Every structure is written in C-alpha cells, then in structure tokens.
Amino acid sequence: MLIPIMLLFIGSLLIFVSLGSASQHPLHSFFYYTAAHSFLYIIIFKIFPSSHSPMSMNLKLRLFSSSGIIFIGIILRLFFINYPPSDDVNRYAWEGMIQSKGINPYIHSAQEFYLEYKDDPIYQDINHKEIPTIYPPLSMAVFRGLSTIFYNVFETPEAILKGYKLFFILCDFALMLLLASLVKSWDRPTHWLALYAWNPLVILYGAGEGHIDVLHALFVVAVVVCFNKKNENTALGFFMLGCAVMTKYYAVILLPFVINHRNIKQVFYGGIPLVLFALYWDVRLSEALSTFTIHMHYNDVIAHWFRILLPEKMLSNIMMFVFGLGMLWIWALKQDDLNRSITLCIMWFLLCLSTLHPWYLIIIIPFLIYSPSRAWFILLISMGCNFWTYHDLQQTGQWNELPWIWFGTYGLFLFIMIWDFYRHNYFTHKNYQIPASIDIVIPTLNEGERIDALKVQLQKNIDYLKDNWHELALKIKDGVSSKENFSSPAIRVYFIDGGSSDNTLQSLKSDMDATVIQLDLPSRGKQFSEGIKKGNGDVILMLHADAKLPENMLVNLMKAFIVYDKLQWGIVGHRYETRPLKMKIIEWSNRLRFSHFGLAFGDQGIFVRRKVLDGIGGMPEIRLMEDVEVSLRLNKCLNRINLGGLLIVSTRSWKQKKFTGYTRQVMKLVSSYLFLRRFGADIHQLSSEMYDIYYQKK
C-alpha cells in the first residue's frame, strides 16, 4: 500500500499545481489540496508504521531517510516554481528596489509613487498600496539585497519574482536540515520529518506563493536547535531569536521561554540584530504596523467572537489581556519542556491574532513533529476554505468574510481540539508492554481512623482484579497483543509512614500483606520516593490515605493500559464525599487543570509507568508540592489520561480551614511555587517553607 498511496499523494499535488492559482479554481483546488494532506497523514501515521514487506522496507530505507525526505521535498517545491506568486512578493521586490534609491519604505507608501511606477508590472500587483511597510528591518534588508541582485540579473518581472521564490526554497532547504537534527534529538521517528518537508500548505505558500514566513520559521527553528540541551549554544540562540524578531516582530513572545537565571547575561546577543533599526529610523516607523494590527482583521479565531460581543474600541485591550493571560499560564505550567512550551506559545498567538492567513501557519508545522495534534492537522486542511475568499477578492476587489468560510475553516478544528483535551495523544510512536505488576504507594501520617477501611478497600480491589482478569486477558488475546504475558499482574502495596503519633503503624502491620516503611519526618515527596524505590512494579500508583477506593479501580486502570498501549501516565480522578455546588466546581476545575495543562494533584491518584518516571529523574523528594513538581516533569510525556473520577476524596481540609480560605491558600501556594520555580528558586527550600505555611508551623 505504501507505493500506491505515495503516488496518490504526489499526483494530488501535481494536479493541484497544474490547475493554476487556487483562487481561480477554488473547488477543484480545495479537493486536491485536501486529498494531498489526507494521503500524507495516512502515509505517516498509518501505512508507514505497518509496512513490513521486503519491498516496502527497502523503499522505506531509501525514501524515508532524512536525505530522501528532504530530496523529495525540494523536488515537490520546484514543481511549484511556476505557480502564481502572492502579491506579497510584489511588495517584497518593489520595496527592496526603492531602498536602493534612498526611499524609506516605513515612511513612504507605494501609493505615493503611482505616477512614476503605474506601468511597472511588479508595482501594479502590490496589495494595500496606501500602507507603508509593516515588515521588520531584517526583512527589509533581505528584500534590498535580493532586489539589488535580481533587478540586475533578470530582465523580466516574472523572473525577478521567481528569484524570490527560489530564495525561499533555499531557506526551506536549510530549515529542513535543521529540522532533521531536531527530529533526532526529539526522539521522533525520522519519517515524521515529512510532516513539514512534504506538507502541502508549506509547499503551496512557501515555494508556490513565496511568503517570507519560511525565512521566519528558519530563524525560529534555529533558536530551538541552539537551546537544545544536548548541544546548547545560548549566545547564538539569542542572536537567532533577535533575527527572528527582526524578520517578524511577534517572535519576541519566545523570549520568556528561553531566558532564565542561568543565561540572562547572554540576552545581549539577541539585541545585536536590532541595530538594523538605525538604517530606517524615523518616528513614524511603527505607524503602518499599528494600523494593520489594530484596524484590520481577517479570518481571526478568538477575536472573532469578542468582536461580536464587544465594542471595537475595547477589543484590542481585551485581546491583549486574554493573550497575556494565556501566555502567563503556558510560561508557568510548561517549565521543563522548552519545545512544548514554544509549541503552545505559537499556537496561542495564532489563535489570538486579528488576521490569520493560511501561510501564517507555516511557523507551527515544524513543532507538530514534536507535538502532533489532530486538531491542528485538520486546521492545515481546512485553511483551504480560504481559496473561496481569495477567489471572491479577485472577482470583486473587496475582502468579504463569508460566515460559511469561517465555520468551514474552524468548526471541525475547534470541536476536535476541545474533544482531544479529554483524550490521550494518539500520535506518540512508542508502544509499551502491558504492565505485569503494579506498586501501590501510600504515604501516611496519623491516619489511624481511616487506615483500616483503606486496607479493606485495597484488598477488595486486588481480589476483584484477580476475579476479572480472565475477561481482561481474553480482550488482550482478541485485540491487543497475543504475545503478551496473560498472568494476572502482581499487586504490591507500600505504606510509608512519616512519624505517626497515633495507632497508624499498629494498624498497618496487621491483617494485610503490605510493606511498611517508617521515616522520622513527614515529607510526602520523600515518602512516595522511598516506596517507589522499594518496589519494582511496571506501574506505580500513588494514593492518599484518606481516599475511598471503588473495588473496580485496579480493573479500570489495567483496562486503560490494555486499550492504550502508548499510555504513559495519568490520574485515577476523584469526586468529593460531599458534593455541594462549590465542591463540584472544585472537581471540575481539577479535571480542567489536568486535561488542559497536565497538572495533577496527589488526591487525584497519579499513576505512571516506572520507565517513564525513571526517565524524568524519579519522584522529587520534597516535603510539599511533590505532585505539582512531578506533573511539571511529566508534562513532556503527552500520552496521559483521566480515568474518570473513581476515587472518593475527603473534604476535611475544607471543613478545617473553611472553603474560601482553604481554596485561596491552595491557589496562592501553587501559583507561588510555579512562578518562583520558574525564576530559579531552590525547590527543596521552597517546598519546606510552603510545608510550614500549609501546616501552620510558623
């Protein structure tokens, strides 16, 4: 199947480019554009992983090596060299040319030169002639250099514009080389490089229409390469970030994610490209950019709804607040995974833009190799709905935003994005064996009143799993893997006491086959860590001693690992024993926090594969916030799941400290931990201080 689908993919692209401009033939272009995307995703995620015949293997080794993927990617781009360029390229070429005549494009609009250049074919197709340039100084310097070369070398306007497209193909080639190294360091399959190299949107708008977003993406990917921990070069990374900002200003949003207390002195290198402002400096330099960002809009997502609900004068301030709030959360919650934080940062920026043309998405596609997303893959396809808008623009000369085009573009994307918040990621390439053993680790401190009931519930769970294992084993044989071990998983229980002064220890040492470990001082992180080290189970389940366990908890846990062989970690989920409206709101916010941000609390019952936990350095041995800390470290493991609220959790903390006061205290402590950690605070000292505050030791 690999060869036929490859031929269908290439054929769809060739038919697409043979149709001419997509704005002239929107229906047929959309069909072949969608088909090419679909065939690409089928190749990457379905056909390639399952092709094992000798012929397929030989083809895979040749075509799906990094060099093979890049070679085919360049060939596909060259097919698009005669595709009609965007009118943006006309602006690049003309503004580059007038700079050589001493004209500052930030001050003078193209409209001012109508009489002089009205017969120039390049000038005629410039869009928004009334607005001076909005591109940063490095972009303008590149335009000047290219136009100086191309206007002297080429004789026709078509050749000049084609020269720009060839330059962007070279940029794309460099980007693919950098991306190939990242794919390896990200530990992603080599063939996933084709998600960018063969992507129809990149080929159409990068090589076909010739948008500068390819150059900008090159600098951003270079930033990620430089800040990669294996070969970190922060000075060069900040310089590349400065170049990215001077190509498209919004790259400055990446700065908070790459800067930290260790490299702050090297930020200076990021300012070097800013000296290019000196070539164009004038007090009116930013006027056109302000006009474009504040007063113009097209195909926006979040701002689209605010525009319906709010007066125009309030919109920009509201959107700045919404964007800033989202960025703050990403910055605080995605601390240990630079690649994921940059991915989410760019995604959020795109969703908050007032104008979102399809080629703006070029910047996110390299990062979809690191964090594949069904919703964003669908958006790359549905952006083809804009072919009709550009067709209408050609016919009428006006921008008409038709409602069906907006819903066609974003309807399915938004539905899948919301749906996927409550599911695990399907694209991770690593498969795991079905767990043969589970270690249940429970820290205790003065739980004498509850521990006997907990022991009974644990034993019921173990017995229920054994009684129902035959049924689960049949499911394994029928649908998952006939090569797995079908014996019932070994369940071992570890209680780690932090120095109880009541009868907890006496209760723990009777009536149940469990390992009891005694520590001198209470420290939940240390207690969990000691229990985890004592065992060797394939999966570790961490519970709080005041939880009530339904007897099917372990069965549902094993079902999850049977059904989802890529599952890495997750939570059992919880409900409160008393559930007035205010406690239901807390439950909902807890589920939302885990689903959207991957931040779990200990009373939600965290479980994780031992290999995965070992890969992030084990359980942090801190006195408090161990659940937040381990969640931050596990955030790079995308395959997580919420089993759906099986635990019944005590509300004693809310009763002891009152609902409002306790909720405020938890929010304050967690927020403080996240932000102080981000600024480089020592987590052991920070945790100890918060322990004293939480348990009122000071």
Chain segment 637-648, per-residue pLDDT in tens: 888 889 887 899
Residue 587 CA to residue 580 CA, distance in Å, equals 11
Residue 554 CA to residue 488 CA, distance in Å, equals 12
With 0-12 / 13-18 / 19 or more C-beta atoms within 10 angstroms meaning exposed / middle / buried, residue 624 is buried
Specify the pLDDT at position 610.
96
Q: How much is the average pLDDT of 384-388?
A: 95
Residue 265 CA to residue 268 CA, distance in Å, equals 7
Please name the helix (run of DSSP H) or strand (run of DSSP E) that holds residue 256, with its range, or none: helix 255-258
Q: How much is the average pLDDT of 541-559?
A: 93
Distances (CA, A) of 298 to 91, 249, 301, 307, 403: 19, 19, 9, 12, 12
Q: In this structure, what DSSP letter does residue 86 have? A: P
- Pseudo-torsion of CA 688, 689, 693, 694, nearest 10°? -30
> pLDDT band at 654, cuts 50/70/90?
confident
Residue 501 CA to residue 305 CA, distance in Å, equals 58
Q: Which residues pair with 570 in a beta bridge?
A: 607, 641
Computed from CA positions of residues 171, 172, 174, 178, in that sequence, does the dihedral angle turn out positive or negative?
Answer: positive
Please name the helix (run of DSSP H) or strand (run of DSSP E) that holds residue 668, with its range, or none: helix 659-678
pLDDT exceeds cutoff 60 at 332: yes
pLDDT exceeds cutoff 90 at 597: no
User: By the 8 A CB rule, do 543 and 616 touch?
Assistant: no
b/e code 324-347 from CB counts within 10 Å (16+ = b): eebbebbbbbbbbbbbbbbbbbbb
Q: In this structure, what DSSP letter does residue 299 have? A: S
> pLDDT band at 476, cuts 50/70/90?
low
Q: What is the pTM of this model?
A: 0.89
User: By the 8 A CB rule, do 529 and 619 touch?
Assistant: yes
Q: How much is the average pLDDT of 23-52?
A: 90
> pLDDT band at 698, cuts 50/70/90?
very low
Residue 391 CA to residue 545 CA, distance in Å, equals 64
pLDDT exceeds cutoff 60 at 423: no
Q: How much is the average pLDDT of 317-345?
A: 92
Helices 54-63 & 2-18, crossing angle to 10 degrees? 40
Pairing of strands 640-642, 647-649: unpaired
Residue 224 CA to residue 338 CA, distance in Å, equals 8
Residue 341 CA to residue 332 CA, distance in Å, equals 10
Amino acid present at 621: E
pLDDT exceeds cutoff 80 at 76: yes
Give residue 696's region: left, alpha or beta (phi > 0; psi -120 to 50). left
Nearest to residue 537, comparing CAs of 484, 616, 640, 607? 607
Please name the helix (run of DSSP H) or strand (run of DSSP E) that holds residue 496, with its range, or none: strand 490-497
Specify the pLDDT at position 587.
87
Residue found by looking up tokens 């930290």 in the block: 260
pLDDT exceeds cutoff 90 at 657: no
> pLDDT band at 52, cuts 50/70/90?
low
> pLDDT band at 438, cuts 50/70/90?
very high
DSSP codes, 28-47: HHHHHHHHHHHHHHHIIIII
Reported as a single tens digit per residue, the pLDDT across 123-140 is 998 988 888 888 999 999
Reported as a single tens digit per residue, the pLDDT across 240-271 is 999 999 999 999 999 999 998 889 999 999 99
pLDDT exceeds cutoff 60 at 55: no
pLDDT exceeds cutoff 90 at 63: no
Class for domain 437-652, per CATH?
A: alpha beta
326: CB partners within 8 A, 6+ apart: 348, 352
Q: What residues does each domain of the chain span?
A: 64-372, 437-652
> pLDDT band at 481, cuts 50/70/90?
very low
Amino acid present at 509: K
More confident residue, 340 or 697: 340
Q: How much is the average pLDDT of 560-565?
A: 86
Tokens representing 514 are 């469990």
Specify the pLDDT at position 307.
85
Specify the pLDDT at position 402.
87
User: By the 8 A CB rule, do 126 and 202 touch?
Assistant: no
Percent of the chain with pLDDT over 90: 60
> pLDDT band at 606, cuts 50/70/90?
very high
Residue 254 CA to residue 267 CA, distance in Å, equals 12
Give residue 486's region: left, alpha or beta (phi > 0; psi -120 to 50). alpha
Distances (CA, A) of 231 to 227, 305, 375, 429, 615: 7, 43, 32, 24, 19
SS3 648: strand
Residue 596 CA to residue 91 CA, distance in Å, equals 41
Nearest to residue 226, comparing CAs of 190, 263, 194? 263
Specify the pLDDT at position 376.
95
Percent of the chain with pLDDT over 70: 93
Specify the pLDDT at position 191.
92
Specify the pLDDT at position 296.
75
Q: What angle do CA 436, 437, 443 make, to 5 degrees?
A: 160
| Average pLDDT across the chain, whole number | 89
